[in-house]
Protein backbone atom coordinates (compact mmCIF):
# COMPACT_ATOMS: atom_id res chain seq x y z
CA UNK A 1 0.00 0.00 0.00
CA UNK A 2 1.27 3.47 -0.89
CA UNK A 3 2.71 5.58 1.90
CA UNK A 4 0.15 7.60 3.84
CA UNK A 5 -2.84 5.45 2.88
CA UNK A 6 -4.96 3.54 5.36
CA UNK A 7 -6.48 0.20 4.49
CA UNK A 8 -9.80 0.77 2.71
CA UNK A 9 -12.98 -0.26 4.52
CA UNK A 10 -14.42 -3.69 3.80
CA UNK A 11 -17.53 -3.82 1.61
CA UNK A 12 -20.78 -3.73 3.58
CA UNK A 13 -22.81 -5.61 1.00
CA UNK A 14 -22.61 -8.06 -1.86
CA UNK A 15 -20.20 -6.22 -4.15
CA UNK A 16 -16.51 -5.90 -4.91
CA UNK A 17 -14.57 -2.76 -3.92
CA UNK A 18 -13.51 -2.49 -7.56
CA UNK A 19 -13.67 -4.33 -10.85
CA UNK A 20 -11.13 -4.12 -13.61
CA UNK A 21 -11.58 -4.36 -17.36
CA UNK A 22 -8.26 -4.05 -19.16
CA UNK A 23 -6.72 -0.75 -18.05
CA UNK A 24 -10.01 0.55 -16.63
CA UNK A 25 -10.91 0.24 -12.96
CA UNK A 26 -14.40 0.94 -11.66
CA UNK A 27 -14.51 1.70 -7.92
CA UNK A 28 -17.73 1.03 -6.00
CA UNK A 29 -19.16 3.76 -3.79
CA UNK A 30 -16.76 4.23 -0.90
CA UNK A 31 -17.46 5.96 2.40
CA UNK A 32 -15.54 7.91 5.00
CA UNK A 33 -15.09 4.83 7.21
CA UNK A 34 -11.74 4.77 8.99
CA UNK A 35 -10.74 2.47 11.84
CA UNK A 36 -14.36 1.39 12.25
CA UNK A 37 -15.67 4.97 12.51
CA UNK A 38 -17.70 6.60 9.76
CA UNK A 39 -18.88 10.18 9.42
CA UNK A 40 -22.65 9.87 9.26
CA UNK A 41 -25.57 12.25 9.08
CA UNK A 42 -27.10 14.84 6.83
CA UNK A 43 -24.93 17.81 5.85
CA UNK A 44 -26.83 21.00 6.58
CA UNK A 45 -28.67 19.50 9.54
CA UNK A 46 -26.54 16.99 11.51
CA UNK A 47 -23.18 18.04 10.09
CA UNK A 48 -21.60 21.37 9.25
CA UNK A 49 -20.16 22.19 5.85
CA UNK A 50 -16.63 21.54 7.20
CA UNK A 51 -17.64 18.18 8.67
CA UNK A 52 -19.06 17.27 5.25
CA UNK A 53 -15.75 18.27 3.66
CA UNK A 54 -13.85 16.09 6.14
CA UNK A 55 -16.10 13.15 5.22
CA UNK A 56 -15.30 13.82 1.55
CA UNK A 57 -11.54 13.94 2.22
CA UNK A 58 -11.69 10.67 4.17
CA UNK A 59 -13.74 9.04 1.40
CA UNK A 60 -11.11 10.25 -1.11
CA UNK A 61 -8.35 8.65 0.98
CA UNK A 62 -10.33 5.39 1.02
CA UNK A 63 -10.92 5.60 -2.73
CA UNK A 64 -7.18 6.02 -3.31
CA UNK A 65 -6.49 3.03 -1.05
CA UNK A 66 -8.86 0.89 -3.15
CA UNK A 67 -7.17 2.09 -6.34
CA UNK A 68 -3.80 1.24 -4.81
CA UNK A 69 -5.00 -2.37 -4.58
CA UNK A 70 -5.89 -2.32 -8.28
CA UNK A 71 -2.47 -1.16 -9.46
CA UNK A 72 -0.54 1.98 -10.34
CA UNK A 73 -2.93 4.79 -11.22
CA UNK A 74 -2.21 6.31 -14.63
CA UNK A 75 -5.24 8.64 -14.60
CA UNK A 76 -8.37 9.35 -12.63
CA UNK A 77 -11.01 9.68 -15.34
CA UNK A 78 -14.21 10.33 -13.41
CA UNK A 79 -15.35 10.89 -9.83
CA UNK A 80 -18.98 10.71 -8.78
CA UNK A 81 -19.67 12.20 -5.37
CA UNK A 82 -22.87 11.85 -3.41
CA UNK A 83 -23.63 13.99 -0.36
CA UNK A 84 -26.35 13.14 2.14
CA UNK A 85 -27.71 16.70 2.35
CA UNK A 86 -30.77 18.69 3.31
CA UNK A 87 -33.02 19.90 0.50
CA UNK A 88 -31.78 23.46 0.89
CA UNK A 89 -28.04 22.69 1.16
CA UNK A 90 -26.64 24.41 -1.94
CA UNK A 91 -22.93 23.58 -1.48
CA UNK A 92 -22.90 19.90 -2.45
CA UNK A 93 -20.35 20.67 -5.17
CA UNK A 94 -18.10 22.42 -2.63
CA UNK A 95 -18.17 19.37 -0.34
CA UNK A 96 -17.07 17.18 -3.23
CA UNK A 97 -14.41 19.80 -4.09
CA UNK A 98 -12.72 18.70 -0.84
CA UNK A 99 -12.46 15.16 -2.25
CA UNK A 100 -11.19 16.40 -5.62
CA UNK A 101 -8.59 18.58 -3.91
CA UNK A 102 -7.37 15.62 -1.80
CA UNK A 103 -7.04 13.40 -4.89
CA UNK A 104 -5.08 16.03 -6.82
CA UNK A 105 -2.96 16.74 -3.73
CA UNK A 106 -2.02 13.04 -3.53
CA UNK A 107 -1.67 12.26 -7.25
CA UNK A 108 -0.79 15.59 -8.88
CA UNK A 109 -1.86 15.97 -12.52
CA UNK A 110 -2.68 12.25 -12.65
CA UNK A 111 -5.49 12.98 -10.22
CA UNK A 112 -7.27 15.66 -12.30
CA UNK A 113 -10.65 14.29 -13.30
CA UNK A 114 -14.14 14.86 -14.64
CA UNK A 115 -16.71 14.91 -11.86
CA UNK A 116 -20.33 14.82 -10.81
CA UNK A 117 -21.59 16.04 -7.42
CA UNK A 118 -25.08 15.01 -6.34
CA UNK A 119 -27.11 15.82 -3.23
CA UNK A 120 -29.08 12.83 -1.92
CA UNK A 121 -31.99 12.43 0.46
CA UNK A 122 -30.17 9.49 2.04
CA UNK A 123 -27.12 7.28 1.55
CA UNK A 124 -26.52 3.69 2.73
CA UNK A 125 -25.80 3.37 6.46
CA UNK A 126 -26.48 7.12 6.83
CA UNK A 127 -23.11 7.94 5.22
CA UNK A 128 -22.46 11.66 4.90
CA UNK A 129 -20.51 11.25 1.63
CA UNK A 130 -19.76 8.47 -0.82
CA UNK A 131 -17.47 8.53 -3.83
CA UNK A 132 -17.23 6.36 -6.95
CA UNK A 133 -14.51 6.46 -9.58
CA UNK A 134 -13.38 5.31 -12.96
CA UNK A 135 -9.61 5.23 -13.37
CA UNK A 136 -6.99 3.99 -15.79
CA UNK A 137 -4.28 1.75 -14.38
CA UNK A 138 -0.77 1.69 -15.86
CA UNK A 139 0.11 -1.55 -17.61
What is residue 36's predicted lDDT score, i.e. its pLDDT?
Answer: 79
- Asked whether residue 115 is assigned to any structural domain, the reply reads yes
- Asked whether residue 12 is assigned to any structural domain, the reply reads no
- Asked whether residue 6 is assigned to any structural domain, the reply reads no
What is residue 1's predicted lDDT score, i.e. its pLDDT?
Answer: 46
Structural domain total, the chain: 1
CATH number at residue 128: 3.30.1330.40
- Asked whether residue 13 is assigned to any structural domain, the reply reads no
CB neighbour burial string for 93-123, b if at least 16 within 10 angstroms, e if fewer: eebbbbbbebbbebbeebbebebebebeeeb
What is residue 101's predicted lDDT score, i.e. its pLDDT?
Answer: 98
Enclosing domain of residue 58: 18-137
- Asked whether residue 8 is assigned to any structural domain, the reply reads no
Burial (CB count within 10 angstroms: exposed 0-12, middle 13-18, buried 19+), residue 70: middle
What is residue 2's predicted lDDT score, i.e. its pLDDT?
Answer: 57
- Asked whether residue 9 is assigned to any structural domain, the reply reads no
Q: pLDDT tens-digit profile of 59-69? A: 999 999 999 99
- Asked whether residue 10 is assigned to any structural domain, the reply reads no
Which residues in the chain land under pLDDT 70?
1-5
Give, as one character, the DSSP assignment of residue 91.
-
Amino acid sequence: MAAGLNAPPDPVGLYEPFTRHGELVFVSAISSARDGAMITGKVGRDLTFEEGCEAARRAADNLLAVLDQAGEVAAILMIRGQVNATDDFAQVHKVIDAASERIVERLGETGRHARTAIGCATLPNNNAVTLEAIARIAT
